[in-house]
Amino acid sequence: MEHRYRSVRLSAMKEVWQWASGTEESRSSAPVKSAAPKLHGIELGKQGEMGKVYFAAAQFIRLLESTYARPGLRPLKNAPPWAYRTFDNQFRWAAEKLWDTVWKINRLAELFELARRNLRELEPPSVPVEDVAKLTTALTDIPIYLETLIVYLRIFADCIANLTPYLYGQKGKNLPRDSFREQRQWFIQKRSNFDSDYSAILKSSTRWFDVLAGDPPRFVGLRDAVVHYRGGIQLMYQPASTGHPTRVIATLFTDYKTLTSDLISTLQKLFQDMCLFLDRFVEHFVQRANNETKSLIFNVSNPQAILLFQYEGELPSAWLYPQVDVAGDDNARE
C-alpha cells in the first residue's frame, strides 16, 4: 500500500511539474501549447504608440465596487438595479485587497527586472566600487523579489475566492470564501451542480494554482516550498551583450528536491495560465451580471473597460505579462 501511494504521489508531482516546465504532452504526444489570453496581459506598443496592460478582473470588480458599494453603501444614481443587494463593507475591503495585490505583483516584477539590469560581468583589475555594490545588492534582492512574488500570486488567488460569493448574491452567502483551495473543492467535489459552468472552469483551468499552492501531501507547490518546506532560491546569471537582458537562472529547491531549475519561466507560464483562467472567470460572471441587471453593465469587448494602465517606452514588469491575443478577438482593439 505504501509503495502504491508513493507511486501515485510521484506521478502527480511529475505531471504538475511537466506542465510547469512546458514539457507536458498531449495524448497525441505533441507538445501542449498554451493559448494566449484576451482580457489579461500586455499589448506591446508599436512605433509611436503607447503599450497597454489589460486586467479585466480588477476592472470588473472595481466597477461593481464603485457602482454598488460606494461609501455609505449607496448605489450610484441611475445604476442598473442589482437584485442581490449583498455588497457590504467586507466586499469593499476585499475589492481593495484585490486591487492592491494586482499592483504589488506588477511592482515586484518591475523590481526584479531593475535588479536584473545590475547583473553584469565585472572586469578586473579596475572595477568601480559602485558597480560591485550594485551587483551584490542585485544578487541579494532578486531572491527576495521572486519569493515575495510567489506569495502575492497566492494571495491573489484567495482574493478571487473572497469576492466570488458576492457574485451569487444571497445564494452565495454560505460559500467558502477564505481559501481558493477550499472554494475550488466545494465547487468541484461538494456542490458541482451549484454552478456547473463555473465548476467546469475550476476543474479545467486551475493547474496554475496546483503549481503555486501544491496539493499536500501529494506534492509541494511554489508557495509552500518557500513558506513551509525550507525552500530557497539559488541564482546563476549569464551576462549578455550590450542592449540585451542578462539571463537569470533561478533554481527553487526545498529539503526534498529541486522543484524547478528555471523559476523565471515557471512563473511566466503560471501567470499566463492564471490570466487564461481569469479570462473565463470574467466572461462567466460578467454574463451573470449582465443577465441580472438586464443591461450591459460591463463590456469586455471595450478595451478601455479592461485597461489597467498605459505606458511609454520600456515597461520593466513586461517580462511577467503574457501578450494578449488581439488577432483572436472578434472585436480587435484599436
pLDDT of residue 28: 41
- 68-77, 82-91, 186-195, 288-297: lowest mean pLDDT where? 68-77
* DSSP reduced 3-state for 41: strand
Q: Report the pLDDT averaged over residues 158-176.
A: 90
Q: Which residues contact 57 (CB under 8 A, 6 or more apart)?
A: 39, 40, 98, 160, 278, 281, 282
Q: Which three cell numbers stand for residue 276?
A: 487564461
The answer to whether the CB of 85 falls within 8 A of the CB of 292 is: no
Whether 200 has a pLDDT exceeding 90, the answer reads yes
More confident residue, 52 or 84: 52
Cis peptide before 125 (omega within 30 of 0): yes
Structure letter (DSSP) for residue 22: T
pLDDT of residue 66: 84
Q: Which residues contact 193 (CB under 8 A, 6 or more apart)?
A: 199
Q: What is the model's pTM?
A: 0.87
Q: Report the pLDDT averaged over residues 193-215.
A: 94
- 149-153, 164-168, 201-205, 293-297: lowest mean pLDDT where? 293-297
* DSSP reduced 3-state for 136: helix
Between CA 164 and CA 155 the distance in angstroms is 15
* DSSP reduced 3-state for 260: strand
Whether 333 has a pLDDT exceeding 80, the answer reads no
Between CA 271 and CA 108 the distance in angstroms is 13
- Of 288, 285, 284, 293, which Cα lies nearest the Cα of 83? 293
